[in-house]
Each structure stands twice: as C-alpha cells, then as structure tokens.
Amino acid sequence: MQKTFAMGVSGGFLGIKVAETVWKSLVRSILEFGCEVWGDCDLPAFESLQIQMGRRLLRCGARTNNEVVRGELGWVTLKARGIGED
C-alpha cells in the first residue's frame, strides 16, 4: 500500500480513478490471488486494508463510515466478490 502512495497517490498527483486502478492492479490482485492459492484468507484484515486505502484515496477521515467509502468508490466487500469462499 505504501508503494502506491509513492507513485503519486499521496501527493494528489493522480486522480481517484487512476489511483484506484493502481491499487487494484498492484495490491488487491496480489492479496486475492494469494488468498485463493494459499487457502488462508483473513477477510477482516483484508477488508480493513481495503477500507484504509479507500479512505486515503478519498482523503476522508478515519471516522467516515465504511459503507460510505465503499459506496463512493463503487467497491463491494471481498466476501461479496467471492473471495474466501470454500
């Protein structure tokens, strides 16, 4: 996640859509692939990481509701996307 910020997310050099694409391709894809391959899914930790990134992308505070962050970005939970199911 920190590497995505070094690519210009933290300075506001990238728009939200571009920063979201960087997140999805560099971080989320690896988490999801590893989860399926290794069979060890810690969904609460992954969800927390996803929400943290969403808050940073939107530049909103820590008290912003998780559903608001997901709604603004159009993200669904990992469980809703079929990650971590047997």
Report whether pLDDT(7) > 90.
no
Closest CA to 58 of 1, 19, 2: 19
Q: How far is CA 54 from the centre of its chain?
A: 6
Q: pLDDT higher for 78 or 7? A: 78
pLDDT at 9: 64
Report whether pLDDT(17) > 60.
yes
Per domain, the residue ranges of the chain are 2-73
**What are the tens digits of pLDDT across the range 18-71?**
888 888 888 888 877 777 666 666 678 888 988 998 998 888 899 999 999 999
Report whether pLDDT(86) > 60.
no
Q: What is the pTM of this model?
A: 0.74
Cα→Cα distances 43→15, 59, 82, Å: 28, 24, 11
